[in-house]
Amino acid sequence: MELKVSDDIHLYSLAVSHANELFHAVESSRQNLSIYMPWANLLTDVKSAENYIRSRIKITDNGSKWFAIYFKGQFTGVFGIKYIEPDSRVSELGYWLSNYGRGNGIVYQVLKVILPYMASCTNAKTVEFHCLESNEASIKIVNKIGAALIRYVPNTIDVENKDQKLGVYSLEL
């Protein structure tokens, strides 16, 4: 599956064939990624990148979809519809960008395409974003698209500052 977001931004269904590019994107951005994404420190070679991809794309029966993000022809991150709960119809979205992609409005532009896609092509009625309270960039993006903080949940992410809160931001489709 391919989604054209803009002339510079394309999404492709995440596949094991992206492992080499994914590894190099993580390698070049490890310091920034590891602040919020503890898995970044475990992704140490192409084989672990393959395992990262397999762990995400193997589950498809809960509405999950994972995309490789390309910016100006270069792999720059991953965007995921992590799941869609069948009863509540709540979905969680997640993403990460390499240093190459940061500061270009990529995630906001992706959301402007993904949210209408989800509203028309899935049974999701609400999307959620889980953001650590120190992740100001992600909070800014989810606020910009209209998501609102609805609650804090215990932080289970293995990050340096484990005492920070994990905010759940919600948006009705």
For the chain, percent of residues with pLDDT exceeding 90: 79
Q: Do 66 and 57 meet the contact criterion of CB atoms below 8 Å apart?
A: yes
Tens digits of residue pLDDT in 156-170? 766 566 677 889 999
Cα-Cα-Cα-Cα dihedral of 50, 85, 171, 37, to 10°?
A: -30
According to DSSP, residue 121 is labeled: H
Rounded to an integer, the average pLDDT of 77-103 is 96
Query: Looking at the domain that runs over 2-172, which CATH code has it been given?
Result: 3.40.630.30
CA angle 144, 106, 127 (to 5 degrees): 50
Q: What is the pTM of this model?
A: 0.92
**Domain definitions of the chain by residue range:** 2-172
| Each residue's pLDDT tens digit, 48-60 | 999 999 999 987 7
- 91-115 residue pLDDT tens: 999 999 999 999 999 999 999 999 9
pLDDT of residue 161: 63
Calculate the average pLDDT of the chain.
Answer: 93
CB atoms within 10 A of CB 100: 17
From the number of C-beta atoms within 10 Å of its C-beta (0-12, 13-18, 19+), residue 104 rates as middle
CB 81 within 8 A of CB 93: yes
pLDDT, position 160: 62
Interstrand relation of 126-132 and 90-97 (parallel, antiparallel or unpaired): parallel
**Predicted local confidence at residue 162, as pLDDT:** 64
